[in-house]
Structure 1
């Protein structure tokens, strides 16, 4: 009688083993999905010159910058218009590839911000006058000494970079604008002060001529759409001779507006 409990336990163990219980079966192997193949690096038809730099005597800051040269630049012997883009630490790969895929005969110079959040100084109301001098007196002359260029210069900036563009446009030379095209993407025009608006009015008083193409975009999910529309309305109301304005609205977030804006705008300029 004392053996009966032991026999019952042995029988139960055998039954569990036969059913795969009791931890004796092997753990099934879970097949992990293969990692997605990374996209191959983009192969340019043109050429890029990366990680150059310029030390500004005006701002006291050293700015890294990158240059894209279009296909055929090395052998054509001709000059090319130049696009100057702010926030080169972010914008250069996408902007240069868009130009390259179109085989657009244009040089791109993308300037990085030059230090952690330096854009919050250089691209805004307080630092913009000095940064504009850096562009006009130091960087652009260097580029035009180094590469074959035409007098057609374009400027593009997003967010604070758009704000910087608006400040430079309001103080453009009354005889001949320095930049022929301003591409301002969801600009932070809410930061413009009463003095900045007075600068716009002062330029209008000096001349009603402004031979510039102004390309504006907005982001509205969320973005600066109301401020951009107010800025556009102000410039349209002045009836400048030679000024062309176009605007496109994107139903995307502010931080995503730069690339699709550039993709739209570069087909509208030469």
Structure 2
């Protein structure tokens, strides 16, 4: 098999006789990376990559929620989640937030809960589990205070992770729910310890009934204890979750795999938790809309009212399209993305 060597674009241009050369390239910056010292994580440092929304500079008095991204190093999941955050600045479908990506160094140790017998995990994962309690201390005592001291945060924090990082999210919700306000667990490895965190979730809820919290939970087509552990957690949420914990479960098993789930469901999570209202406007006659007429007094009053989540009607985009003529200028909170299978988040 012949191997084709990939060359930079400038080199390719020079290889073609008479081809024009590109101008000097300029770097495209997604965020800023800081090397943060930590005494808790065995004295190691961590790269923390941070993206500010465009409103941060434009509105200097405004404060913002923070989303902490596990496995969020520059060469890990930061870039594609930052892309979702940037897409909001084009479509305004959810509220702006500060994104803080935390580099994982040995994720199979530092994000993994303690186990009764580490030997089978060491054979399967090539790492000794049990670092999650220390990692929570690092977040609570070192990283979160550092972010809050240096950026305009509003006190509302979320944590997001996928797979083993999502297991850390679930374990944190059960063990130390007051650490974050919102928990986004995308395909958590709930096979862990023979589905411990699904089997014992009801007991955790009884011991740690923290105040108002929200959980976004989703899984793909993994099967085995991965699926069963998730279903056990959902059952506990259904019957034993504190009333103050609002939750939603989106079952993506028919459409996504463990490898494809993270990006689309992260977008869905942000829209679900931080969705922003919009209005339904009359279309232009150029595209088949109604004839242009003077707005009625009722329509003018609707336009003068600020749209908030509390005064908006929740509906799907399809419902809005079918009822468009009755919805002109009204505030809508569109239920974008896949429909949840169950939960209390929309109650």
Instruction: Give the Cα separation in 1 of the matches to 2:222 and 2:131.
Output: 29
What whole-Å deviation, never above 9, does each CA across 1:113-162 have from its counterpart, x for those lacking one? 12xxx000011111100001101111111000110001110000100001
For this pair of structures, how many residues does the alignment match? 222
Instruction: Give the Cα separation in 1 of the matches to 2:249 and 2:195.
Output: 24
What whole-Å deviation, never above 9, does each CA across 1:70-127 have from its counterpart, x for those lacking one? 012124121100000111132211111111211341000011112xxx0000111111
Q: Which residue of the partner structure matches residue 240 of structure 2?
A: 238
The ranges of structure 1 where at least 4 consecutive aligned residues each deviate by more than 6 angstroms after the TM superposition are 40-43
Residues 1:59 and 2:41 aligned together: yes
Q: Which residue of the partner structure matches residue 92 of structure 1?
A: 78
SS of 1:88's equivalent?
A: coil
| Correspondence for 1:253 among 250, 253, 257 | 257
Structure 1 vs Structure 2 CA RMSD? 2.6
Q: Which residue of the partner structure matches residue 173 of structure 2?
A: 169
Moved more, 213-222 or 93-102: 213-222
Instruction: Give the Cα separation in 1 of the matches to 2:138 and 2:208.
Output: 25
Residues 1:74 and 2:60 aligned together: no
Shift in CA distance, 193/148, structure 1 to aligned 2, threshold 3 Å: farther
Conservation of the 8 A alpha-carbon contact between 1:83 and 1:156: yes
TM-score (structure 1 length as normaliser): 0.74
TM-score (structure 2 length as normaliser): 0.58
Tell me the CA shift for residue 178 of structure 1: 2.3
Q: Which residue of the partner structure matches residue 99 of structure 2?
A: 108
| Correspondence for 1:141 among 135, 141, 145 | 145
Conservation of the 8 A alpha-carbon contact between 1:222 and 1:252: no
Higher RCO (C-alpha under 8 Å, 6+ residues apart): 1
- Which stretches in structure 1 are left out of the alignment for 5+ residues? 1-39
| Correspondence for 1:228 among 227, 230, 239 | 230
Conservation of the 8 A alpha-carbon contact between 1:171 and 1:200: no
Moved more, 260-269 or 206-215: 206-215
Q: Greater Rg, structure 1 or structure 2?
A: 1
- Which stretches in structure 2 are left out of the alignment for 5+ residues? 1-24, 90-94, 114-129, 275-347
Instruction: Give the Cα separation in 2 of the matches to 1:95 and 1:41.
Output: 22
Tell me the CA shift for residue 213 of structure 1: 0.9
Instruction: Give the Cα separation in 2 of the matches to 1:86 and 1:187.
Output: 13
SS of 1:109's equivalent?
A: strand
Q: Which residue of the partner structure matches residue 119 of structure 1?
A: 107
Tell me the CA shift for residue 212 of structure 1: 1.1
Moved more, 77-86 or 213-222: 213-222
Instruction: Give the Cα separation in 2 of the matches to 1:144 and 1:252.
Output: 36
